[in-house]
Amino acid sequence: MVIIVETGADEQTIQRLIDRVGALGYTPHPIRGVEKTVIAVIGEKTQEKIDILETMPGVERIVPILQKYKLVGREVKSETTAIRMTSGMEIGGEEVQMVAGPCAVESYEQFLNIARYVKQAGGHMLRGGIFKPRTSPHDFQGLGEEGIPIAQQVKADVGLPFVTEVVDVRDIEHLHDVADIYQVGARNMQNFALLTELGKVDRPVMLKRGMSATVDDLLQAAEYVVVEGNSDVILCERGIRTFETMTRNTLDISAVVALKRMSHLPVFVDPSHGTGRDWMVPALCKAAVAAGADGLMVETHWHPQEAMVDGAQSLTPVDFATLMSELPAFCSAAGRTL
């Protein structure tokens, strides 16, 4: 259930409510929106306890939440969660954010080169896997710990924040000094131990949709992070498995519309993994913006044909720059900026 706090209730009244919820044996999760503060109450409800809470000063009303996801639903917060990065950029605000970079950090020279042109073309954030979750154990698994100082140096060289995947609970600490956002990949979307640990860190989490996960599964996975206290979660649609063989996955644009309606969390779209084909990426970036995406994640490489991972879906520097020059018109048509 959620307690909708009366508009204008002061901090002391809200704190008393939170304390009372705790004293009744529940876990309170205050969610402060621009217009309304609500307190999500997690735990077994009884009519007796609801009656006690209903009479407390500052309570407007108490409403049950029927979905399995309680904290990430629009019901508890009508406006989109805005995540402010230390660099000042805001995720979930008016500006559509472009995250770009190689699938994997391969070397200092490779990552620096790509990072420079991402920045030059107007990208907002870098991506690049240091630890790669590969389908085959015989494929390149990323540089591992050796990649951390490389990414740190490139970040310092170009001055862009960095999102990178964490595949194992043990790597959360290793990546803490380099990751501005921790990415949870599709293959780990339901790694609940990892999600729970990421709920305790002071960094946003980019949670990618599992390739056979429903929209509802994704929201419940996000709930695992938020319930631990980290409310800065970004959802990412990256394609699902279907019978279609033309593309690597089927990018589910309708999921963006659904997620935006059902949740207050920002939603990103990754058309690179969503299609596996570089020539489809620009059109689907535009479609994602039209559907309401708050950001895009695109793989780029200076020499896609030489990429160690995912070259076929990586944009060249020229194609990336062209995309960046075309996107503002689409963002503007959707009431956004780039």
Which residues of this chain interact with Mn ion, rule CB under 5 A? 103, 310
- The partner in contact with residue 199, picked from ligand PEP, Mn ion, none with C-beta cut-offs of 5 to 8 angstroms by kind, is none
Q: Which does 208 bind (CB under 5 to 8 A by kind): Mn ion, ligand PEP, none?
A: ligand PEP
Subset of 156-185 contacting ligand PEP (CB under 6 A):
165, 185
- What is the closest distance, in whole angstroms, from the C-beta atom of residue 273 to ligand PEP in the complex? 4
Given candidates 31, 38, 53, 103, which one binds ligand PEP under the rule CB under 6 A?
Answer: 103
Provide the minimum distance between the beta carbon of 270 and ligand PEP in the complex, in angstroms, as a whole number.
6
Distance CA 64, CA 45 (A): 10
- Residue 301 touches ligand PEP, criterion: CB under 6 A: no
Shortest CA distance to 271 belongs to which of 244, 300, 245, 242?
300
> How many Å apart are CA 42 and CA 246, to the nearest integer?
44
Q: Which amino acid is at 35?
A: E
Minimum CB distance to ligand PEP smaller for 263 or for 275: 275
CA 52 to chain centre: 37
Name the one residue in this structure whose structure tokens are 């780029």: 300
Question: Which of 210/292 has CB closer to ligand PEP?
Answer: 210
CA angle 166, 172, 177 (to 5 degrees): 105
Nearer to ligand PEP, 81 or 314 (CB): 314
Q: Is 186 in the site for ligand PEP (CB under 6 A)?
A: yes
Residue 185 interface partner, choices Mn ion, ligand PEP, none, CB cut-off 5-8 Å depending on type: ligand PEP
Q: Is 208 in the site for ligand PEP (CB under 6 A)?
A: yes
Among 49, 273, 301, 336, binds ligand PEP (CB under 6 A): 273
Residue 186 interaction partner, one of Mn ion, ligand PEP, none, beta carbon < 5-8 Å per kind: ligand PEP
Please, which residues have CB within 8 angstroms of residue 197's CB and are 6 or more apart in sequence?
Answer: 169, 172
- The distance of closest approach from Cβ of residue 189 to ligand PEP in the complex, given in angstroms and rounded to an integer, is 8
Can you read off the two tokens belonging to residue 139? Answer: 């494929």
Half-sphere exposure of 214 (CA within 13 A, CB side): 3
Residue for token digits 């058309």? 271
Task: Indicate which of Mn ion, ligand PEP, none lies near residue 20 (CB less than 5 to 8 Å, by partner kind).
Answer: none
Number of residues that bind ligand PEP (CB under 6 A): 9
**In this structure, are strands 233-237 and 205-208 parallel, antiparallel, or unpaired?**
parallel
Residue 238 near ligand PEP by CB under 6 A: yes
Q: Which does 181 bind (CB under 5 to 8 A by kind): Mn ion, ligand PEP, none?
A: none
Measured distance CA(241)–CA(179) in Å, rounded: 29
Comparing CA positions, the residue from 236, 143, 223 lying closest to residue 181 is 236
**Tokens 């000042």 belong to which residue?**
88
Q: Which is nearer to ligand PEP, 227 or 297 (CB)?
A: 297
Alpha-carbon distance values, 42 to 70, 224, 326, 338 (Å): 8, 13, 45, 38
Closer Cβ to Mn ion, 232 or 310, answer by number: 310
* DSSP letter string, 114-166: HHHHHHHTT--EEE-BSS---SSTTS----GGGHHHHHHHHHHHHT--EEEE-
- Comparing CB distances to Mn ion, the nearer of 263 and 275 is 275
Cβ 326 to ligand PEP shortest distance, Å:
23
Q: Which residues bind ligand PEP (CB under 6 A)?
A: 103, 129, 165, 185-187, 208, 238, 273
